[in-house]
Structure formats: C-alpha cells, structure tokens
C-alpha cells in the first residue's frame, strides 16, 4: 500500500522498484518505460501509475510534510493498547498475546474470540486488531472510487436486489462513453487514483467491450483500475488484464459450497473460485470476501471464510453484512448485529496482520452510519466512495436504502477526509489536494 503522495524511486531492479515516502520504503511494480532512480512517481496497489515532474512533486511534498507526521502521531495514540490489566481472562490474554506475536491462530481459537459477548472483552479484541493495523500498515487508508456501470443481471442469486428475481427494479446501463467520462472526471476533478468498475452480469458488456473501455480510460488518465463484472470467463479475465485492469473485485460470498450453490441457483462454487484463482495467477490484485449473516451460515462457516480469503491471496478483504432485500427470496431474513461484523473485521486483522487491507463496506455503513469509524478502529483500512452519476445510484440497489445514493461525491470526499483526519489516517488512493496541510489536525479522535 502506498500513500497518495509522490514517492521518490530509490532502487530499480527490472520491474521491481523501491519507493521512499518520508523515510518509509515500499515496494512496487513498474510498467512505465525509462523509470530511473530519483524519479518521483505515484503508486497505487503496488503498481506505478504515473511519473511526476520533480518540481511539482517536491512542491506537493513540502505542503504535505507537517500534516503527514501530525496524522501519524494521532493514529499512533489512538492505536495504543494495554494488556497488563489484572482482570483480563487468561485465555483471552493468551490468544491476544499470540496474535501480537504473529503466531498463527487455530480455527477453534478464532471461534472462541468470535463468541466473545462481553463489551469489555470485545473492545480489547478491537483494540488489538487496531494495534496490529497500525504496526504493519501505519496510518494509510485506501480510498477507492466505484462506478456502477449497469444494474442488468441475468443471474438469480437469492440475496441480491439486482438479480433477475427483482422484476420491480428499473434497469439502467451507462454507455461506454459515459463510463469513460465518469472515470476520467473522478481522476481529474476529484483526485481518485484507484477506481472500481462494477456491474451485474450484463450480457451487453462483453469482454471485448469492457476491454475497450478499460483501455481507453488508461489512455486518458493515470489510474489503477479494478473490475467487478461477475464471472466473465478465463479468456475475459486475460483480455481485461491485457487492456490495463490490475485488480479484481469478486466475492466468493461463503466458503460453504453447499450453501453457496443453494443461494446461487445454476452456479457452481468451484467456478467462482476458479475465476479468483485465475485472476491471481494473471497478476491481478484480488479483492474478495464473504457476506456475514447469511441464512443457514454458521459461525464456523464465517471463520472458514476468513481463511479462504487469505488462501486466495486477498489484497483487500471485503466482508460485509447480508442485508435482506424486499424483492428477493430472502426478504424476510434476519439482519446480523453490528458487533458480529466488527468481530469478523478484527479477526481478519489477527489472521493476516501484515498484508490485509480490510474494507469497511457500504453495506456495513448502510446498516449503521457510525460503522465507518468503528470499523476503522478495529483493524479496517479501506473505504469506497460512490462516483456513479447520481441519477443512477438508487437503481443499483443490491440491498435496500443504500447509503450515499443521494450524496454528491464532493460531500462524500469532505466527510471521508474529515473522518480520516480525526483518526490520524492518510488516504492512499485519493489525491493529496483533498487534505489541507493545516495545523489544526484533530488530536482528540
């Protein structure tokens, strides 16, 4: 993960480079020609996306210097933890100590932590996860933009509001020109350096059409592109990668194969896994995960979900609550509690402390608007903002009353930056001009 500020190239070895950010060194993959030691660059998701003129880069870094370290100070304070209290359960203390020492936790140990019900012990779990997040990732937080290009879908997934089950939904489809224009505007006007293009499994958008869109966006703006169009086939994944896509968002939804196939009529669990594995082999950054609280899902299933995401090489873990949609077969299902979701996020951090970027999903924020902050304080370090043209957002209703359907992107950015500053976090995928280098950084969280 790299900050959304210019970094200076310190070392070049073929496609592998070392980048310096105010003394912090991070590795990246370079696909630009002629990159040299001393050049200034932007890096996203471990990929170099743009070379920056030295004078421009140094000007940005000069303005950013004081704020960078002020934010780190706030984050460090908020992530402190004390495990020396006498009233801590010995088993809990032993497991948390084990996690802090990077000693892998067994499934039964994770299950024990997942079943904690006492607010004080839950809070200790959350603080441990946040400590590990700060230790290995410092104060960086991914802030991606997402463009929902179509709500057409031929599939019959029982939980999804845009599935073919929902005959009450008004359907929309952006034109290729609208997608390109929206993406370019997100980069040029709002400073996004990473974007997700997402849709249902829409037969109009063939791999060739999607690849052409990706290629044209990459020709116009420097950006890390993530694609999320469902199962488009192995050849489709290759075409999109060749066109310039470098990340794939594809949840497996549940590691329980029988439950998966019950919830996805006509689909095979192994087919979903094959797509994710193929993407990883091609070089995609993988964003994957599961729904929390699905009908028929056990606590053991949810623990297995975490381990499966890690085994699939997840760059970002996307775990969010199942929210019943009124126009699906699961309309009358119960909703999971926010504490259950927070515990899963914290356990992800304990299972994969060094590598995990953990997304606070829009679904979690829809369940409770305060969960963005709470999720970030229990190990989370990734957010997504909706840059879909506002007139279409309400129709991408994979669950009801989706948050940010009516907020202009300017408001979303303002709210996000304000929250991140209060927590001492720095965005890694949102242009640095969106955070002012003032001396009034909130030091009280």
Residue 130 lies in a domain: no
* Residue 311: per-residue pLDDT: 98
Please report, in angstroms and rounded to a whole number, the separation of the first and last CA atoms in the chain.
23
* Residue 428: per-residue pLDDT: 87
Dig out the tokens for 358 from the structure: 């953990």
* Residue 82: per-residue pLDDT: 84
Residue 131 lies in a domain: no
Residue 108 lies in a domain: no
Domain edge (last residue) among 15, 37, 52: 52
Residue 123 lies in a domain: no
Residue 119 lies in a domain: no
* Residue 87: per-residue pLDDT: 78
Distance from C-alpha of 289 to C-alpha of 272, rounded to nearest angstrom: 12
403-421 pLDDT per residue, tens = 999 999 999 999 999 999 9
The CATH number of whichever domain residue 29 belongs to comes to 2.30.30.140
The verdict on 377 and 230 lying in the same domain is yes
Residue 199 lies in a domain: yes
**Is the pLDDT assigned to residue 166 strictly greater than 60?**
yes
Q: Compute the average pLDDT of residues 374-382.
A: 98
* Residue 442: per-residue pLDDT: 38
Total of domains in the chain: 2
pLDDT bin (cut points 50, 70, 90) of residue 437 is very low
Scored b (16 or more CB within 10 A) or e, 398-409 reads: bbeebbbbebeb
* Residue 430: per-residue pLDDT: 85
Residue 86 lies in a domain: no
Spatial contact of 420 and 4, defined as CB atoms under 8 Å apart: no
pLDDT bin (cut points 50, 70, 90) of residue 431 is confident
- Domain residue limits at 44: 7-52
DSSP category for residue 173: B
The verdict on 48 and 140 lying in the same domain is no
Domain edge (last residue) among 52, 70, 87: 52
**Is the pLDDT assigned to residue 153 strictly greater than 90?**
yes
175-210 pLDDT per residue, tens = 999 999 999 999 999 999 999 999 999 999 999 999
The verdict on 306 and 403 lying in the same domain is yes
Burial of 103 from C-beta contacts in 10 A (0-12 / 13-18 / 19+): exposed
* Residue 85: per-residue pLDDT: 67
Contacts 24+ apart (CB under 8 A), 157-160: 157/263, 157/264, 157/267, 158/262, 158/263, 158/264, 158/265, 158/328, 158/329, 158/330, 159/263, 159/291, 159/294, 159/322, 159/324, 159/325, 159/328, 159/330, 160/325, 160/328, 160/398
Q: Which helix (H) or strand (E) holds 438?
A: none
Q: Compute the average pLDDT of residues 59-86.
A: 89
255-284 pLDDT per residue, tens = 999 999 999 999 999 999 999 999 999 999
Residue 405 lies in a domain: yes
The verdict on 288 and 425 lying in the same domain is yes
The CATH number of whichever domain residue 420 belongs to comes to 3.20.20.70
Q: Compute the average pLDDT of residues 338-365.
A: 98
**Is the pLDDT assigned to residue 433 strictly greater than 90?**
no
The verdict on 174 and 313 lying in the same domain is yes
The verdict on 42 and 143 lying in the same domain is no
Residue with tokens 């009034």: 440
* Residue 445: per-residue pLDDT: 30
* Residue 86: per-residue pLDDT: 62
């Amino acid at each position: 993960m790299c900050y959304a500020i210019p970094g200076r190239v310190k070392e070049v070895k073929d496609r592998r480079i070392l980048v310096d950010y105010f003394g912090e060194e991070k590795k990246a993959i370079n696909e630009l020609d002629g990159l040299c030691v001393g050049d200034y660059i932007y890096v996203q998701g471990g990929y170099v996306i743009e070379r920056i003129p030295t004078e421009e880069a140094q000007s940005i870094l000069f303005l950013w210097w004081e704020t960078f370290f002020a934010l780190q100070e706030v984050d460090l304070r908020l992530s402190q933890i004390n495990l020396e209290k006498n009233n801590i359960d010995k088993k809990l203390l032993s497991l948390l100590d084990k996690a802090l020492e990077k000693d892998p936790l067994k499934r039964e140990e994770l299950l024990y932590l997942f079943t904690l019900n006492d607010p004080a012990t839950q809070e200790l779990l959350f603080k441990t996860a946040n400590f590990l997040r700060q230790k290995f990732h410092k104060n960086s937080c991914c802030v991606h933009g997402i463009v929902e290009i179509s709500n057409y879908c031929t599939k019959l997934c029982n939980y999804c509001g845009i599935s073919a089950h929902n005959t009450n939904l008004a359907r929309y489809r952006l034109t290729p020109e609208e997608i390109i224009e929206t993406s370019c505007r997100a980069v040029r006007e709002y400073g996004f350096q990473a974007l997700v293009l997402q849709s249902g499994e829409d037969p109009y958008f063939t791999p060739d059409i999607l690849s052409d869109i990706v290629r044209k966006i990459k020709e116009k703006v420097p950006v890390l592109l993530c694609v999320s169009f469902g199962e488009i086939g192995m050849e489709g994944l290759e075409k999109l990668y060749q066109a310039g896509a470098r990340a794939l968002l594809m949840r497996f939804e549940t590691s329980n194969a029988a439950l998966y196939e019950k919830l996805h009529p006509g689909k095979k669990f192994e087919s979903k896994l094959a797509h994710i594995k193929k993407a990883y082999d091609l070089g995609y950054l993988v964003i994957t995960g599961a729904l929390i609280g699905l009908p028929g899902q056990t606590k053991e299933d949810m623990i297995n979900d975490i381990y499966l995401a890690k085994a699939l090489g997840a760059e970002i873990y996307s775990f969010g609550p199942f929210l019943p949609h009124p126009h699906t077969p699961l309309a009358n299902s119960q909703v999971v509690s926010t504490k259950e979701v927070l515990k899963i996020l914290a356990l992800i951090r304990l299972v994969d402390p060094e590598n995990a970027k953990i997304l606070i999903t829009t679904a979690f924020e829809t369940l409770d608007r305060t969960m963005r902050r709470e999720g970030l304080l229990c190990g989370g370090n990734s957010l997504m903002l909706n840059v879909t043209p506002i007139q279409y957002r309400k129709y991408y209703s994979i669950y009801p009353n989706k948050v940010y359907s009516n907020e202009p992107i300017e408001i979303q950015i303002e709210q996000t930056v304000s929250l991140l500053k209060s927590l001492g976090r720095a965005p890694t995928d949102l242009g640095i001009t969106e955070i002012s280098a003032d001396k009034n950084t909130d030091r009280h969280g």
